[in-house]
Amino acid sequence: MRALVGAVQAAGDAIGLPYIAAQADLGDPEPMADEAGRPYAETSFRWVDPDHAYWRDRKLALHIAFLTAARLTAEPFYYSDGQLRTWRATQLLAAVDCEQAKNTPSFGEAIIAPVHLPRGLVGAVFWCSREPVGVGALFDRHAGDLHNLALKLVATHNEARGRPRNATVPQTLTRREVQCLRWAAAGKTDGEIGIILTLSVSTVRFHLRNAAAKLGATGRAQSIQIAAGLGFVGARAA
């Protein structure tokens, strides 16, 4: 981890984006920290405002535009002059309100690398400047390498900390288990799933219970969440 943290900082220093923020799990209010519990924001990374201990704000992930955007896309993107952009046009980023960042003193531009891992875990690494540095051109040259670094940092940190908790290698789901999960994810009741798949309600429940046990889930909602994070349930149902 020390080598990865150093590599993330060195990459930012080399391209003129030396101010770093990182979070391995946007759903965790605790900051990303070393094995002794010391936040990397205190021990390793610098921020644009040295007096702003942003990592102590437990509600940070709920109101920062960059974190909202990191949840919406798994691709790296960049911030400049109040707008978010990436290598292609996307309405998801265009719709994110960056007024807060635009009005933040001493905040220039940034490259953000989201990291989307299985089981619904999302992290991100931010490389920032205090003034404009031509971030569009930097993004074209370095976004791939920065994204790779972010993936290594976030994945290594989460596995070292045992996250997500109780994660195991799931057994293979059967075709019927996957079908039942997909229709459950679409909001169908057990009875409706039974009609769609020509199964009895008890058989539908049997398949859903088996799927939950294999996924290490403790209920219908968690089964769907984990199945979606592992790619068993896609954007379209059944």
Per-residue pLDDT tens digits for 188-209: 999 999 999 999 999 999 999 9
* Amino acid of residue 6: G
Contacts of range 191-198, beta carbons closer than 8 Å, 24 or more positions apart: 196/238
What is the structure's pLDDT at 236?
59
Query: Is residue 211 very low, low, confident or very high in pLDDT (cuts 50, 70, 90)?
Result: very high
Rounded-to-integer distance, Cα 19 and Cα 96, Å: 22
Which of the pair, 53 or 183, is modelled with greater confidence?
183
Just give the CATH number of 2-160.
3.30.450
- CATH topology match: 2-160 vs 175-229: no
Give 75-131 pLDDT, tens digit per residue: 999 999 999 999 999 999 999 999 888 888 889 999 999 999 877 789 999 999 999
- Domain residue spans of the chain: 2-160, 175-229
175-229: which CATH topology? Arc Repressor Mutant, subunit A (1.10.10)
